[in-house]
Amino acid sequence: MRLDYITIFPDWFAPLSLSLPGRAIESGLLSIAVHDLRDWTHDRHRTVDDTPYGGGAGMVLKPEPWGEALDAVLASSDAATLVVPTPSGRPFTQALARELATREHLVWACGRYEGIDQRVLDHAAGRPDVVEVVEVSLGDYVLNGGEVAALAITEAVVRLLPGFMGNAASLVEESHEDGLLEYPVYTKPASWRGLDVPDVLRSGDHARIAAWRHRQQVERTAARRPDLLPASQARHEWEVVPAV
Ligand code: ADE
């Protein structure tokens, strides 16, 4: 997978070379390039923003540097997905992470201030043979820019690439993969500060363990995220969840 980030803060992306993404780069699974939007400006001050038409607070990222940046980054691509982190985008979920993990080339347009001139996105969306545009929101809160969101989304996507994680089973069992939150986990010692590991987990009875874990998943999901359950299964925290 190829990843191109366009940003006015290229330094934000230094963590990409750490930890797991770092190893994926070394192994050739990922190729990553970070581009400074200001490299596509032509004035002495390397201006990337201007005041909004129609008035209002803040500044808007100008279309010209974005247009040139995208032309350059997309020039050598047959089919790219342009990911635009924005609080007004499609909510980011594990399902969207799985979808993005199937793409060959992700180009990330990281906005700042009040956002990117809408025509940049409209122009890209008008070339569906070359680029698919996906505006993505990390959640219902506002960050200072798209960089942190791009990093978070990248991590969720890249760890799904075949060959990226050592243990594929751990991917299947984790929160959200089956629509439920994960069950609680324990390790040694069996007793710690007066708190014991549930007996069932030490029983060696794999069927009982699987049933207990599933029940924990349903209970946790009902208590913490009832919105994830079908209406028939959703319970509130103060209600008792029947045994499954
Ligand atoms: N940029 C600013 N806030 C954001 C959010 N919540 N999600 C994605 N990108 C953003």
Q: What is the pLDDT of residue 241?
A: 52
Neighbours of 164 (CB within 10 A): 20
Rounded distance between C-alpha atoms, residue 60 and residue 51, angstroms:
6
Q: What is the pLDDT of residue 163?
A: 86
pTM, to two decimals? 0.90
Q: Mean pLDDT across the stretch 84-111? A: 97
Residue 238 has pLDDT above 60, yes or no: no
Q: What is the pLDDT of residues 170-194, one digit of tens each?
A: 666 777 878 999 999 999 999 999 9
Half-sphere exposure of residue 200, counting CA atoms within 13 Å on the CB side?
A: 13
Q: How many helices (H) and strands (E) does the chain have?
A: 7, 9
CB of 7 shorter than 6 A to ligand 1: no
CB of 88 shorter than 6 A to ligand 1: no
This complex has an ipTM of 0.97
Least confident of 1-5, 125-129, 162-166: 162-166
Rounded distance between C-alpha atoms, residue 39 and residue 46, angstroms:
8
For residue 140, which atom of ligand 1 is closest to its CA?
Answer: 6
Q: Are 107 and 82 in contact (CB under 8 A)?
A: yes
Q: What is the pLDDT of residue 194?
A: 98
The Å distance, Cα 17 to ligand 1 centre, comes to 22
Peptide bond into 189 cis (omega under 30): yes
The Å distance, Cα 97 to ligand 1 centre, comes to 16
* Residue 89: partners with Cβ closer than 8 Å, 6 or more residues away: 134, 135, 136, 137
Domains belonging to the chain, first-starting first, are 2-167 (3.40.1280.10), 173-228 (1.10.1270.20)
CB of 137 shorter than 6 A to ligand 1: yes
Rounded distance between C-alpha atoms, residue 105 and residue 82, angstroms:
9
